Amino acid sequence: MAEIIQKDGTWTFDGDAVRIVPGRDKGVGLLRQQLGEVVVPLRAIGGISYEPGRKSGRLRLRLRDGADPLLQVTGGRLPESSDPYRLGVEPDRTGVAEYFVDEVRSALLLEQVDPGPSDAYLLPGPAVPISVGAGDGTAAFDGDRVVLDWNWTTEEAKASGGKREFRVADVRTVEWAPSKGLENGWLRFTLTGAPPAAAPKYDPYTVELFGFKKDPLMALVAAAVTVRMPHPAAPAPQAPAAQATAPVPLAQAAAALAGEPADHDTLLRRLRELGELHRSGVLTTEEFTAAKAAILGGF
């Protein structure tokens, strides 16, 4: 087992998974604190590295693309203080960090873990129920239903419709974007069959984010919903294979029908039906001749 304890948090590797517990240092962001302990199975790890620095180094865990719903929905836009897969390392713990890297890499090689993209989420995502208030509203999710409620900063055009409530089964896409410069961020839900979304400040299915401290927490709501939606890289479901059945020639069907007990009028009606099938092209001449012979044998 390998373990490294720093102000940012504690990482432990037991050969099967990396267990990440956030620290209580002021540099640890609210997202990491609220997310809590994260257990990353070995099969979800794409790589690990230690980056030395002049004052301190960094231990970085790289997950396979598509393995973690949080990374999937944030798309590499999380600030470093919110990134649960980064650990600041003091200079006197460099040797421990390098040993930790060697242990994880050896396990990856031994287990022949595929570092490529994953077509399924390998982490469970944030715990539910979860509720976050930031920007112009509050987003709450209980594992099935999402509720968006508004505050005093919400545009009247959006707030006038009241809070919005919908099921995760009705969600087509989830987007989270941080504030950047003068541009606000957002947490946006697009529902199946909905028209094109309006600007975040007017969209009743979007919480607009203004760049304050709690903004990254909205990414936890986004991840909790995302992990309960179909994975974007999952193979398309295949229709069940049709049961193979040998086609029954029309002539054989007609012959079987002719073999049933029937009176004179019934046999004549069957002959007329065969003639219509032949004229319409359903029966070939050979099929018509064979079926006609079978029916005539019933007289």
User: For the chain, percent helix, then strand, then coil, each to nearest 5?
Assistant: 30, 25, 40
User: Cβ distance 218 to 176 under 8 Å?
Assistant: yes
Q: Write down the pTM of the prediction.
A: 0.76
Parallel, antiparallel, or unpaired for β 57-63 and 45-51? antiparallel
* pLDDT value, residue 248: 44
H or E element, residue 72: helix 69-74
171 SS3 class: strand
Radius of gyration of the chain, Cα coordinates, nearest whole angstrom: 32
Q: Do 191 and 41 contact (CB within 8 A), yes or no?
A: no
pLDDT tens digits in sequence order for the chain, 299 residues long? 899 999 999 999 999 999 999 998 888 999 999 999 999 999 999 999 999 988 889 999 999 999 999 999 999 999 888 999 999 999 999 999 999 999 999 999 999 999 999 999 999 999 999 999 999 999 999 999 999 999 999 999 999 999 999 999 999 999 999 998 889 999 999 999 888 888 999 999 999 999 999 999 999 999 999 999 999 988 877 666 554 444 445 555 454 444 445 566 676 677 777 777 767 666 778 777 887 777 776 55
One-letter-per-residue 3-state SS of 106-141: HHHHHCCCCCCCCCCCCCCCCCCCEEEEECCEEEEE
Structure tokens at 55: 């004052």
Tell me, what's the pLDDT at 198? Answer: 87
Rounded CA-CA distance 69/45 in Å is: 14
pLDDT reported for residue 124: 95
Q: Are strands 45-51 and 145-150 parallel, antiparallel or unpaired?
A: unpaired
Whether 73 contacts 176, CB under 8 Å: yes
pLDDT for res 246: 42
Spatial distance between the Cα atoms of 85 and 218, rounded to a whole number of angstroms: 18
Alpha helices in 39-115 (DSSP H): 69-74, 94-110
pLDDT score at 268: 67
Predicted local confidence at residue 263, as pLDDT:
60
| Strand pairing category for 57-63 and 86-89 | antiparallel
Q: Find the angle CA(168)-CA(169)-CA(173) to the nearest 5 degrees.
A: 70
Per the listing, tokens 């410069």 go with 181
